[in-house]
Amino acid sequence: MITIDQIQDKIDNLNKPKGSLGRLESLATQICMVQQTLKPRLSHPCHILFAGDHGIQREGVSFSPREVTWQQMINYTRGGGGVNMFCRQHGFKLLLVDVGVDYDFPEKILATGITDTERKIVNRKIAYGTKNFLHEPAMTKEEWDRAIVIGSKQVDAWYREGSNIISFGEMGIANTSPSSVVMHLLLDIPLEKCVGAGSGLDEAGIQHKLDVLRQAVANYKSLEDRPPLWQYFCGLEMAATVGGMIRAAEHNMLILVDGFIMTACVLIAREINPDVMKCTIFGHCGDEDGHKRMLDAMGAEPLLNLGLRLGEGTGALCAFPIVQSAVNMINEMDNFQHAKITKYF
C-alpha cells in the first residue's frame, strides 16, 4: 500500500525547492493516494451531464423559464453549449442523460447505446420533472432510488471503458433552490446566506425566492414522518449525480466537482458515503451566493475562482489542466540525484 510519506518523499526529491509547486504538490498527493501508485495517470476523462426539471420552478424562483432545460439539452446535441466547448478543448467524452426533463425529445437525437452517445441524449426519464416541494416531496423514495441506480450505471459504463477521472454537470432550471436548502439543512447555515441570484434574479426576485424556500423548509420540518431531505427537495438530475459520485468513489475514480449545485450533490453524497470526499477535487469557487460558504464549511479548497456561474460542469472542466499538471509534475520532473543537482534541504 502506497503511503503519504512515500508520495511526499518522491515529491520532495524532485529538482525544485521544497514545497515550491504548492497546490500542485498536495493535488498530486491526493491523486497518488486515490490511485495507490507513485506514477498516477489520467485516462479517458468523461463528463456526465444529467438533466431534469423542478416543480419548485412553478413558484417563480428562477429568472429562466422552464423550457430552457430542454432547449439547452438540444443545443448540447448540436455542440453549441459551453460544456461542449470545454469538453472538446480538454478531451472529455460528453454524456447527456435525461432523467427528468419535462419534454419528449425527438427520437433522432436519442442515443441507442453507449457507443452512440456523442451529441445524443440518453433517455433514462423517471418523471416529467419533480413535484413542487413547497407543498409535497419532490420525489418518492422509489424515484430517488431509481435515479441513484441510473447515476451508478452511467459511471459503471465509463469505468469499464477505462475512465479513471470523471466530472458531472447539470441542466435543470431552478436547481439552485434545492441546493440552497440542502446547504442550509446539512451545514446549519442561515438560509438567507445560502440563497442567491441563480440565473439572474434581481433583489426582489431573490427575496421572493428566499420567502418561498423558508416556507418550504418550515413545511418540511412540520412533518411528523419526514423523508430524507434530499428526497424531499432535490431534482432527479441531482439524485442521479449523487449516485454517480458515490459509485465513482467506489471505483476509486477522481471526481472533478463543479459549482454550487454539484457541490451540494457532494454534500449529500458524503452524508451517504463519507469516502466520496477522498476522491473529490473541487474545480472552482462559483459566483453564486453561498458557494464559498459551502466550500469553506466542507473544508474544500477549490482550484479556481473565475466568477463562473454557468453550471453544466464548466468550472470542473476548466480546472482539468491543473489536475493534469499535478500528474505531469510527479511523473516527468527529474529528481536531484539523477539530474546531478545538490539537494540543499
Cβ atoms of 148 and 234 within 8 Å: the answer is no
Distances (CA, A) of 307 to 25, 209, 288, 300: 25, 22, 8, 17
- Cell for 211? 420567502
What cell numbers appear for 109 in the block?
A: 437525437
Q: What is the pLDDT of residue 56?
A: 97
HEC string for 180-214: HHHHHHHHCCCHHHCCCCCCCCCHHHHHHHHHHHH
For residue 67, what pLDDT is reported? 96
DSSP state of 110: B
- What confidence score (pLDDT) does residue 341 get? 80
Residue 34's Cβ-count burial label (10 Å; 0-12, 13-18, 19+) is buried
Would you call 9 exposed, middle or buried from its count of C-beta atoms within 10 A (0-12, 13-18, 19+)? Answer: exposed
Per-residue pLDDT 10s for the chain (345 aa) are: 999 999 999 999 999 999 999 999 999 999 999 999 999 999 999 999 999 999 999 999 999 999 999 999 999 999 999 999 999 999 999 999 999 999 999 999 999 766 567 789 999 999 999 999 999 999 999 999 999 999 999 999 999 999 999 999 999 999 999 999 999 999 999 999 999 888 788 999 999 999 999 999 999 999 999 999 999 999 999 999 999 999 999 999 999 999 999 999 999 999 999 999 999 999 999 887 789 999 999 999 999 999 888 889 999 999 999 999 999 999 999 887 887 787 877
Which pLDDT score is estimated for 342?
79
Catalytic residues: 312
In the prediction, which pLDDT does 115 show? 58
Question: What is the model's pLDDT at position 345?
Answer: 77
Q: What is the pLDDT of residues 221-231, one digit of tens each?
A: 999 999 999 99
| Spans of all domains in the chain | 46-321
Q: Model confidence over 46-87: pLDDT tens digits?
A: 999 999 999 999 999 999 999 999 999 999 999 999 999 999
Query: What is residue 74's predicted lDDT score, i.e. its pLDDT?
Result: 96
Q: Report the pLDDT value the prediction gives residue 303, as an integer from 0 to 100.
A: 97
Closest CA to 73 of 56, 95, 89, 91: 95
Q: Write the CATH number of the domain with boundaries 46-321.
A: 3.40.50.10210
User: Edge-to-edge strands of the sheet including 93-100?
Assistant: 121-123, 93-100, 46-52, 165-171, 254-257, 280-282
